[in-house]
A and B are shown apart, each in its own frame.
Chain A
Amino acid sequence: MSHPYILEADQITMKFGGLTAVNKLSLKILPGDLVGLIGPNGAGKTTAFNMLTGIYHPTEGEVRLLGENISKLRPYQITKRGVARTFQNIRLFKEMTVLENLLVAGQSTYQSGLISSILKTSQFKKNEEALRNHCLELLKIFKLEKKSQFLSKNLPYGEQRRLEIARAMATSPQLLLLDEPAAGMNPQETKELTELIRFIRNHFKMAILLIEHDMGLVMDVCDRISVLDYGELIAYGNPKEIQNNPKVIEAYLGPKEEEKDL
């Protein structure tokens, strides 16, 4: 049995007490897909990400990764199975260097035992060397190699965003989840980010799920877009269809005048 979808969210719901943040959301992501997830503030996008990555466990429904139900797994287990993410509010390891941020993310691929790392066996040194090279290569791709020894908290904002993506990539994912990567960026930085996202997808041949407020960016890079409003999926389609979908326009611009009067 083969599973065409990398990730499948099947009618997932998240309730916080009386509030339903996400209601029966379904998503399907194919290998190599670049899917956008948009919607007004508070629509439930980040909550959906948290369910896909194990930070929250869905109240109802199921998340499947290559056919395996991962709804009950812890975040680190899901990451080890090939899903990596960034955060809307940057969450770097601030007091660690840029390189160390990546080393932490990369190390489950290059496991060394506790004892061998304390005794510094040759096997351990080989592992560390391979991990280091893997991470330095990524830093080069993300144009951060000159900053590898900087504490991550000392990077300018745009570079911190880039570092977060690089760190996620260090886990060697098949699917990358980006939560508003362009937030707080200027137009020039946003343009570079757009190129970077395209590059990642083509270079690493991986699927990306992108939450973004910058419509230009979303319409530009995404193959298909899902639109959330008040926790419900209200539209799904290619950028053109989404732009012309009356429900989407309403969600973003509010109801039309005549309807308001009623």
Chain B
Amino acid sequence: MSGFFDYLIPLLSNVGIFIILALGLNLINGICGQFSLGHAGFWAVGAYAAGAYGLYFAPEIPNFINLFISCLVGMITSALFGLAIGIPCLRLRGDYLAIATLGFGEIIRIVIMNTDKLGGPRGMTNIPHWTNIFWVYAWVILFIFIIVNFLKGPHGRAMISVREDEIASESMGINTFKYKTMAVVIGAAMAGVAGALFAHGQQFLHPNNFTFMWSVIILLMIILGGLGSVTGAILGAIILTILPELLRFMGTTIAEWRMVIYSLLLIALMLWRPSGILGKREINLLGLFKKGKT
């Protein structure tokens, strides 16, 4: 029985980390309508920044405080990268962001690979183990709370209007550049926290943990759940984190066919539910998404 929990708890931790990643990318791609292809890059930046804090800077204080500081370090570092990529790309209309984030995701891996302090190609080892499932889900709940309230307020509406029609939005007095940048920075910041939680859970980071394939998988999560839907992103993250584990139970051959199975899943989705499982709708547990009185 305890063996089962030893297996289950890290899996559920991973689910939480991917929920944070999917929620952040959903803000950029689904809610603001900007196409980012480098989410694994922001995740990597957060993970390595947190790892470096844990290895080189952390004082002797209780673990949970160190974890909190480390999450902030990951969050701020990733947010700054988001800002640096967002500002030049988002001034213009068009798909510059997709190209830049795609490049960023690859460049950041190569930079880490060649930085000795970060472990280079050997990976970063001996990162302190501070993450536990409680803190993962504390962050998950905090981010859900922030995003849900954000979306119900004026700034969330403004961000959605950018997705709906950028020219009309700008012509209605919305500073579209500000909201696009905000989406990328917040999305990156969330990926940074996910990175920190990941780093202090795994205790080992390698650049190949953060390949382009992971950006695609996070993108798949939000497309599967329904681009723009918060509960959809959560659902997508749960399904695509648990599915490979289920496939593993079915034997190694099937597990090796994982990407093929994903592709088939995606094709099936495009045929039957082109806008994802939930579309833009929300599952209304707890009345969380109830629209205000009108």
Contact = CB atoms under 8 A, between A and B. Distances in A.
Interface of A: 53, 55, 74-76, 79-80, 84-85, 87, 91-96, 99-100, 103-105, 107-108, 110-112, 114, 117-120, 124, 128, 131-132, 136, 148-149, 167-168, 170-171
B253 interface: no
A111 B294 CA distance: 19
Nearest to A132: B294
B168 A91 contact: yes
A242 B157 CA distance: 44
30 contacts: A55-B171, A74-B175, A74-B177, A76-B170, A76-B171, A76-B172, A76-B173, A76-B176, A79-B173, A84-B171, A85-B171, A92-B164, A92-B168, A93-B168, A95-B280, A96-B160, A103-B154, A103-B157, A107-B154, A107-B157, A108-B173, A110-B154, A112-B154, A114-B155, A117-B154, A120-B149, A124-B153, A128-B153, A131-B154, A168-B172
Nearest to A136: B294
Identify which of A76, A95, A105 gathers the most chain B CB atoms within 10 Å of its CB. A76
Q: Is the interface of B mostly helix, strand, loop or mixed?
A: helix
Contact of A105 (B150, B153, B172): B172
A132 B154 CA distance: 11
A112 B173 CA distance: 14
B165 A91 contact: yes
A149 B294 contact: yes
A120 B58 CA distance: 35
Interface in B132-177: 146, 149-150, 153-155, 157-158, 160-161, 164-165, 167-177
Contacts of B160: 93, 95-96
Contacts of B155: 112, 114, 117
B292 interface: yes
Given A76-B174, A99-B294, A171-B172, A128 B154 contact: yes
Interface in B238-294: 280, 292, 294
A132 to B, nearest CB: 7
- The 10 A-B residue pairs with the shortest CB-CB distance, nearest first, are A117-B153, A93-B164, A91-B168, A105-B172, A79-B173, A108-B173, A107-B154, A75-B170, A104-B161, A118-B149
Identify which of B164, B167, B174 gathers the most chain A CB atoms within 10 Å of its CB. B164
Nearest to B148: A118
Contact of A93 (B153, B161, B280): B161
Identify which of A108, A111, A149, A168 gathers the most chain B CB atoms within 10 Å of its CB. A108
